[in-house]
Amino acid sequence: MIWLALAVVVLLLGPLLTLAFGDVSMRGDWRTATHRATGLAPDPAENREAIVQVYASRTFGWRGAFAVHTWIAGKPADADRYTRYEVIGWRMYAGRSGLSISDSGAPDAEWYGAKPTLLEDIRGERAAAIIARLPGAAASYPFTTVYSAWPGPNSNTFVAHVGRAIPELVLDLPPLAIGKDYLPLRNPVARAPSGTGWQLSFGGIIGVMLARVEGIEINLFGLVAGIDVLHPAIKIPGVGRVPSRD
């Protein structure tokens, strides 16, 4: 129990330092928070090729010290708009689906005032093949009316599901994407979201992952620490990759 308590304390250091010194706003009202385009998505009028991008933004308020919200945006060749795929918890009011597939907003918009980070940027034929499979992968997500910010299923569980369904994405979700490791207790073994390895996870609360892209990750109470071997870095809860891949 002492070792477990020490492990929890160590895992919480990153989020606490981020809360104290990081780019996490504790002020403001979510109802007036901005959703402005950030210029990370190429202009469709000037970029006619197929494009797939994956984004992550810190969640609103103190939760941003622990987690990010992730989503996928895709534009077929010669299309004038991007389609954005994501799960949004508040949409599930009164039993409605939280799955959002929309081309009405900016693909690279701020998430309640938080500027997104571009995780993946795929162009051309590979992007076109992924876009063709996105509707089916989204439709197969099994938790459209169930949402739990911790430990999942949530928005990051959805993006991880799409990654497993479309291994061509080779999706590398950040350790801050709490919920990416959520697996039902009846099925605790699955491919890693990147499709390049495997993971064992008990309800997203405790687990381990070993994959070529993600490296080695240990999940304890939803907080992920690990080592990226392919792109040398350590992964720290609340902080993310050190050094980052930006």
pTM of the model: 0.94
Q: Which amino acid is at 9?
A: V
| pLDDT class of 216 with cuts at 50, 70, 90 | very high
pLDDT tens digits along 127-169: 999 999 999 999 999 999 999 999 999 999 999 999 999 999 9
The answer for 179, left when phi > 0, alpha when psi is -120 to 50, beta otherwise, is left
DSSP classification of residue 21: H
Q: How confident is the model at residue 119 (pLDDT cuts 50, 70, 90)?
A: very high
Distance CA 81, CA 99 (A): 19
Q: Tell me if the bond preceding 76 is cis, omega within 30° of 0.
A: no
Tell how strand 206-211 and strand 83-87 pair up.
unpaired
- One-character DSSP codes across 130-189: HHHHHHHHHHT-S-TT---SSSSSSHHHHHHHHHHH-GGG-----TT-TTTT---TT--E
Write phi, then psi, for 156 (nearest 5 degrees).
-75, -30
Q: What is the pLDDT of residues 228-243, one digit of tens each?
A: 998 999 999 999 999 9
Burial label for 202, CB within 10 Å (0-12, 13-18, 19+), is middle
Please compute the mean of the pLDDT values over residues 103-119 and round it to a whole number: 96
Does residue 10 carry a pLDDT above 80?
no
